Structure 1
Amino acid sequence: MLPLPSPAILLSLRALLSGFAQIFLQQHLGCGLLVLIAILIGAPELLAGALLGGLTSMLVAQRRGYPPADIAIGLYGYNGILLGLLLSLKLPWTALLPVLIMASAALSSLLLAPWMRRMRKHGWLPAFTFPFVLLGWLLLALVAQLQLPLDTPAGTAAAPELNVLQLLLGVLRGLGQVIFLDSPLAGLCLLIGLRLADGRTALWALLGSSCGSALALFNGWPSDGALAGLYGYNATLAAIALAQTHRCPLLPALGILLALLLQPGFSAIGLPALTMPFILACWLIRAGAQSWQRAVRDSTPTG
């Protein structure tokens, strides 16, 4: 009979799965497991980097004594996982890659902790995936400066025919592109995970990805990018984040629109968008809502 895992190992496994779920702002272990399975389906070669990044960021948080409750729900895992995915996607597996993944994942936890303290004490805006974006930009710039060999695909597939089926598959790809996956089956796996966590969240995720593809095609942006889901993932995240905190559907809808309008601007300035359009959209709406609440409170007569 095999010995049972120790409680510490089980807690770490739960925290790691929660980190996968937190990429989509969820705390459901089943959702986290399905995110992991989606990576196995869509790009199994990225899974080792994702696990290494998630474990490193979680272990650094534990060693630094960050709040155990935050670690348990995956808040010190998702940025590391995303960095592991990004680096595994961009670089071949050499001795340098795990070093970069571990260093950047550790830094993501060190950056997130003071931000979260200020958010709770002084009302700072949520960090979301900002540590991942900031470190991702720095790492991609470092790769370019050092002229490290990139792990690029051997060839580019022809653009799929524009029809209803391809549009539906593009919506699923938009979910997958949150974690750099171009597989509709992986996107379906993610949708099931979101449905397990919360049905309303799954509907908003579908709406965000659908709006991304629709706006891209309406504006005449490259149809191959639209059908690959490249314009849907930021809108998906914005919809999920804002639907969690606002019951009124107007604000998540506005977040979808802002994320879609902001994304092309990063190409114009030569920066990879990553998830920054989603972050900016949520920050703008959150800051606007806070300003409105303060204005209403200050204008209300007292006594």
Structure 2
Amino acid sequence: MAAHKNNFLIEALKGTSQVFFMENPITGALFFVAMAYASYASGNWTTTIGAALGVCVATLTARLLDCDEPSVAAGLFGFNGVLVGAALPTFIAAAPQLWAYVIVGAAASTVITAACSATLTAKWGIPGSTGPFVLTGWLMVAGAYSFGGLHVTGDAPKLATDYVQGVVFLPQPMELVQIFFCNIGQVYLLGNEISGAIILLGIFIASVPAGIAAAAGSLVAMAVAIGMGADPAVVSQGLYGFSPVLTALAVGVIFLKPSPRVTLYALLATITTVFVQGALDVIVAPSGIPSFTAPYVLTMYLFIAPKKLMAPHPHQPVEGHMIGHDHPTSAPTRTAA
């Protein structure tokens, strides 16, 4: 137990890397480098600070609740917290109340992660993944409108009808490169192509197949969004690509055993995620909240649910995991009564 308690930094870094399903502290450290670079480029460090605070609070909460030690050690209780910590300062102006908000949100994400484990995963074998982040983020951003001490920032939400349909968008080669990497960076809410490149490097360090899947997901999302005539401004920021990147990883590599059939299945899921992204953006925009990774979560849930009907399907590696991304080393969640 003592050795486990002394690895808090490693657990936090693994939690950071688990956003992309990796269990690698070096990858997690590179993800923080990517966030720091984006903060340096923008001159705003609140996102990086919030992410660090979020993953630490989420991991500490898991310890205090006596959650499953291997799962905590694998970072499976930290990745939703790090996303909550990055998201809230992105959409809410810096203030003393914001940091209290981040702490509560990150701690709540740990409890919701355990709740998803006890329901979705235990009963249906569907991983909770970033679902707890989406639910927490939606409630916290929406709730910020009710409190005078919090100020939701950013431009007023735009509906799809605000975009002039039929405009041809043919990016130049350098723009395509920027979009490709922004698609990956936006998983961490980073609209910076250099940060996206650093994140992709971190994924490749942890897993070459995962890196290939992430790159393929970004390319597919970019092609579909441009081909379907999506808003060029939104496409250029990578906002049509980050959820498909996660879908390509989850369906193509993580939760189903890779094979030619699974590759085609993951391709269908990735394309579907682009359309779900457009739909959910329209649905949530009137509420003044971002869609976050909800398009990925919804698509992944639907495409992973019928895995028992498919072959090959590694029953034990997928169904034996009880929390978060259901990493192969994880064990059933247990929380204090």
Matched AA of 1:222 = D
Tell me, yes or no, if structure 1 residue 253 matches structure 2 residue 249: no
Contact conserved, 2:247 with 2:269, CA < 8 A, in 1?
yes
Tell me how far apart the structure 2 counterparts of residues 40 and 161 of structure 1 sit (CA, whole Å): 31
Alignment partner, residue 14 of structure 1: 10
6-15 or 75-84: bigger deviation: 6-15
**Structure 2 unaligned residues grouped into runs of 5+:** 156-168, 312-337
Tell me how far apart the structure 1 counterparts of residues 183 and 27 of structure 2 sit (CA, whole Å): 17
Matched AA of 2:211 = A
Percent identical among aligned pairs is 25
Alignment partner, residue 156 of structure 1: none
Contact conserved, 1:212 with 1:226, CA < 8 A, in 2?
no
Contact conserved, 2:186 with 2:239, CA < 8 A, in 1?
yes
TM-score, with structure 2 as normaliser: 0.79
Shift of 1:118: 4.2
Alignment partner, residue 96 of structure 1: 97
Alignment partner, residue 290 of structure 1: 308
Tell me how far apart the structure 1 counterparts of residues 175 and 121 of structure 2 sit (CA, whole Å): 44
Matches within 5 A, 1:1-303: 7=3, 10-43=6-39, 45=45, 46-118=47-119, 121-146=122-147, 148-152=150-154, 162-242=171-251, 243-244=253-254, 245-248=256-259, 249-271=263-285, 272-291=290-309
78-87 or 282-291: bigger deviation: 282-291
Q: 1:291 to 1:161 in 2, by over 3 A?
A: closer
Tell me how far apart the structure 2 counterparts of residues 119 and 93 of structure 1 sit (CA, whole Å): 35
Q: Deviations over 1:139-159 (max 9, x none)?
A: 121123336323448xxxxxx
Tell me how far apart the structure 2 counterparts of residues 119 and 218 of structure 1 sit (CA, whole Å): 35
Matched AA of 1:52 = L
User: What SS does the corresponding residue of 2:7 show, helix, strand or coil?
Assistant: helix
Q: Deviations over 1:52-98 (max 9, x none)?
A: 11111111110110001011111111111111111111122211011
Contact conserved, 2:84 with 2:106, CA < 8 A, in 1?
yes
Q: Deviations over 1:88-141 (max 9, x none)?
A: 111222110111111111111111113224456433411001111011111121
Shift of 1:268: 2.1
Tell me the matched-pair count. 282
Tell me how far apart the structure 2 counterparts of residues 8 and 227 of structure 1 sit (CA, whole Å): 43
**Structure 1 unaligned residues grouped into runs of 5+:** 1-5, 154-159, 294-303
Tell me how far apart the structure 2 counterparts of residues 165 and 102 of structure 1 sit (CA, whole Å): 39
Q: 1:161 to 1:268 in 2, by over 3 A?
A: closer
| RMSD (CA atoms) | 2.0
